[in-house]
A and B are shown apart, each in its own frame.
Chain A
Amino acid sequence: MDGAHDMGGVPWSGPVAPEPDEPPFHAEWERRAFAMTLAMGMPGGWNIDMSRFARENRPPADYLSKSYFQIWLAGLEQLMLERQLIAEDEIAAGHALRQAKPVARILTADGVVAMLHRGGPTEREATAPARFAIGERVRAKVIHPPTHTRLPRYVRGHVGTVEMLHGVHVFPDSNAMGSENPQWLYTVTFDGRELWGADGDASVRTSVDAWEPYLEPAA
């Protein structure tokens, strides 16, 4: 979707403000919200693209007014409410008001190391040859799906060069809706002037990782 999360090149941002010796968390609630998000993936059963869509699918003013972990929290609540693992009145009450929905499994302390080590590899077996070759010129399609996509707006319609081929990976646009639909994944590199016109820096090249359905021959 064309949301506020799609920030590449937007003109309203200011200088980057690094914090010296920054800790991983700035408040206790951030620790708990982060850890709950990781732990609830197991009983919740959603995938990473469903999580990303739950975070980004909100009005721009809401997205931009929340801190990063507040966005995670809102996304987590959304995923749990949709699946009726929890209800709004229970959050308000601070206690469970009805029976738990049966879940396949939960993350216990003794499962943490294995869960983190396993991660979530997205590469899958290829069932068809790649359409594009390294060095080939391709155009990022102009698309505006209302659903999840990982093709940022700033490259849409622009021509780049295939620089890497990463094999076949789960396709986020489908995976966010429950179907892996794996596709060839490429690194496509664009010149600064191609992306930003005369305002671009000709000494800069920028790439995105793009699945095959995002691309067409540049011809």
Chain B
Amino acid sequence: MTSHQHHDHDHSELSETELRVRALETVLTEKGYLDPAALDLLIETYETKVGPRNGARVVARAWTDPSYRARLLADATPAIAELGYAGRQGEHLVAVENTPELHNMVVCTLCSCYPWPVLGLPPVWYKSAPYRAKAVKDPRGVLADFGFELPETTKVRVWDSTAEIRYFVLPMRPAGAEGWSEERLAELVTRDSMIGTGLPKQPHEVA
């Protein structure tokens, strides 16, 4: 096979998936199993309403309100519902707290379990073989892939989400943001800091 033919082959495989999805939606709609307007709303929900800004609000609240932080760590599902986030793929939530001594990281080695109500849909790397393979064996290597290193004295705790419990990380509040409002603090909270593959932004990065 020439490289040109190979290129055509790859191209037609991509189109095949697109055509198949279109065919499926047509058949299922014709049969009355699907309401295309419901699909539009599902997509809109996960593109515009449910995403890591929800989790950032939870973290910022925990950073500013000690009694909220205590409720979140004791029983995350009702604490997160206080802010209006609940439901699919977040039915049983657990928040795990980073400290100078302990860094948490969340993975799903078997598929892609992820706390949707607080983080939205998982990124491709979270669902990929490298992350699923490496997180449970060499989490410090994963952190190196993300460009940072923990002190050797910090222990690492990896949570493999094999059941319907959904874990998310409460990162440490960065220094230098004293007196900031909850809204401003939320801008420091990145998606990766709530998975445990990153740290919150530093105050000077958003100031």
Check if B152 is an interface residue, CB within 8 A of chain A.
yes
A76-87 vs B, CB cutoff 8 Å, 1 = contact: the mask equals 110000000110
Majority SS of interface residues in chain A?
Answer: mixed
Q: Nearest A residue to B23 by beta-carbon distance?
A: A94
Residues of B within 8 A of A157 (CB): none
Q: Nearest B residue to A185 by beta-carbon distance?
A: B163
CB interface residues, A 104-163, toward B, < 8 Å: 106-109, 111-112, 115-123, 150-152, 154
B100-139 vs A, CB cutoff 8 Å, 1 = contact: the mask equals 0000000001111000000011011101111111101111
Q: Please report the C-alpha to C-alpha distance between residue A38 and residue B28 in the assembled complex, in whole angstroms.
A: 13
B8-45 vs A, CB cutoff 8 Å, 1 = contact: the mask equals 00000000011111111111101111110111111101
Interface size class on chain B is 35 or more
A166 B125 Cβ-Cβ under 8 A: no
A6 B156 Cβ-Cβ under 8 A: no
Q: Please report the C-alpha to C-alpha distance between residue A78 and residue B112 in the assembled complex, in whole angstroms.
A: 19
Q: Among the listed B134, B136, B165, which residue makes an inter-chain contact with A166, where contact means beta carbons less than 8 Å apart?
A: B165
A100 B110 Cβ-Cβ under 8 A: no
Residues of A within 8 A of B109 (CB): 6-8, 152, 154
Q: Do A94 and B129 contact each other (CB < 8 Å), given the known contacts A22-B124, A106-B32, A154-B136?
A: no
Q: Do A19 and B123 contact each other (CB < 8 Å), given the known contacts A33-B21, A36-B25, A166-B163?
A: yes
Q: Among the listed B17, B152, B156, B162, which residue makes an inter-chain contact with A150, where contact means beta carbons less than 8 Å apart?
A: B162
Q: Nearest A residue to B139 by beta-carbon distance?
A: A204
Q: Among the listed A19, A85, A119, A200, which residue makes an inter-chain contact with B90, where contact means beta carbons less than 8 Å apart?
A: A119
Check if B53 is an interface residue, CB within 8 A of chain A.
no
* B50 nearest CB across to chain A (Å): 8
Check if B88 is an interface residue, CB within 8 A of chain A.
yes
Q: Do A95 and B26 contact each other (CB < 8 Å), given the known contacts A121-B92, A205-B155?
A: yes
Residues of A within 8 A of B123 (CB): 18-19, 22
Residues of B within 8 A of A123 (CB): 92
Check if B157 is an interface residue, CB within 8 A of chain A.
yes
A17 B125 Cβ-Cβ under 8 A: yes
Q: Nearest B residue to A170 by beta-carbon distance?
A: B164
A118 B87 Cβ-Cβ under 8 A: yes
A-B interface, 7 closest residue pairs, ranked by CB to CB distance from nearest = A8-B109, A209-B163, A13-B133, A100-B31, A35-B39, A109-B37, A94-B23
20 contacts between A and B (CB under 8 A): A7-B109, A18-B197, A29-B21, A29-B22, A35-B43, A36-B28, A39-B34, A48-B164, A68-B124, A68-B127, A91-B24, A93-B27, A94-B27, A109-B38, A112-B42, A119-B91, A121-B91, A122-B91, A152-B162, A208-B162
